[in-house]
Amino acid sequence: MVMGLKDALSQGLFKSLDAFADPDGNPLVRFAFPGEAAKIEKTLRDLGFDKVINQVTGKFTRAMSSAVKIAKPLFFDAIKNMSFKDAAKILVTDNTHAATDYFKQEMKPGLMTAFRPIVDSTIKMEGADKEWAGVTKIYNAVPFINKPLETSLTDFVSARVIDLMFLMVANEEEQIRSKYELRKTDMMKKVFTWAEGELKKKLQKN
């Protein structure tokens, strides 16, 4: 079961990360200000700074793409270290994001550590650090701004790429679990079909 799950995950779950290979041509992986920070972008665009925001977010997107290049080997290491107990929890469940949740718990601190130097060097090489300093200066000069915008970029962009990466992996996992035709290999079909049967038995007992 463990080997079957590992093969299934390796073959199918991480193909969504390939979207980051063309950061300028794929709107799904373009950097976007998350949560409360989205208000920053709206404020600046309302003030007429669309060009500056587009330039900065484009460079942030390329920094994210550079970081994701090292993510797949880290995912494969996490798969290799998966125990029988972990595999059982991931497979026999009605949680359609169980594998994603496992990887997030196991990998997030390590991903931040691995991504920081790559994001930092890419941001500096692209000149995004200087452009961001200009953005923060503009934003912080706006009247009635209660919380000044931080100028630190590395953790901000690293956290964003991790969130987006796991979101895409979660979407891929949900598709594989719910749609038989997306299980491209015999092993994927065998493992997830078996898991569906085991979950059905478990629910019937309860």
Only one residue has tokens 């919380």, namely 147
Tell me the pLDDT band of 16, cut-offs 50, 70 and 90: confident
φ/ψ of residue 40, rounded to 5: -60, -50
The answer, yes or no, to whether residue 71 has pLDDT greater than 70, is: yes
Instruction: Report percent pLDDT > 90 for the chain.
Output: 16
Read off the pTM: 0.82
Q: Which residue type occupies 53?
A: I
The answer, yes or no, to whether residue 151 has pLDDT greater than 80, is: no
12: how many CB neighbours lie within 10 A of its CB?
20
Burial class (CB in 10 A: 0-12, 13-18, 19+), 129: middle
Instruction: Using alpha carbons, list the distances in angstroms from residue 33 to 57, 71, 169.
Output: 9, 22, 20
| Helix, strand, coil distribution of the chain in percent, nearest 5 | 80, 0, 20
Please report, for the chain, the start and end positions of each structural domain, with discontinuous segments joined by +. 2-205
Tell me the pLDDT band of 102, cut-offs 50, 70 and 90: very high
Query: Average pLDDT, stretch 130-145?
Result: 78
- Supply the Cα-derived Rg of the chain in whole angstroms: 20
**What are the tokens at 61?**
């997107």
- Confidence (pLDDT) at 114: 93
Which of 93-102, 122-131, 134-143, 178-187 comes out lowest in average pLDDT?
Answer: 134-143
Residue 33 CA to its chain's centroid (Å): 14
Residue 28 CB partners (closer than 8 Å, separation 6+):
19, 168
Q: What is the mean pLDDT of the chain?
A: 84
Q: Say if residues 112 and 166 touch (Cβ distance below 8 Å).
A: no
Instruction: Report percent pLDDT > 70 for the chain.
Output: 91
Summarised one tens digit per residue, pLDDT across range 103-126 is: 999 999 999 999 999 999 998 988
Q: Which of 65-74, 111-120, 155-164, 171-180 has the highest mean pLDDT?
A: 111-120
The answer, yes or no, to whether residue 193 has pLDDT greater than 70, is: yes
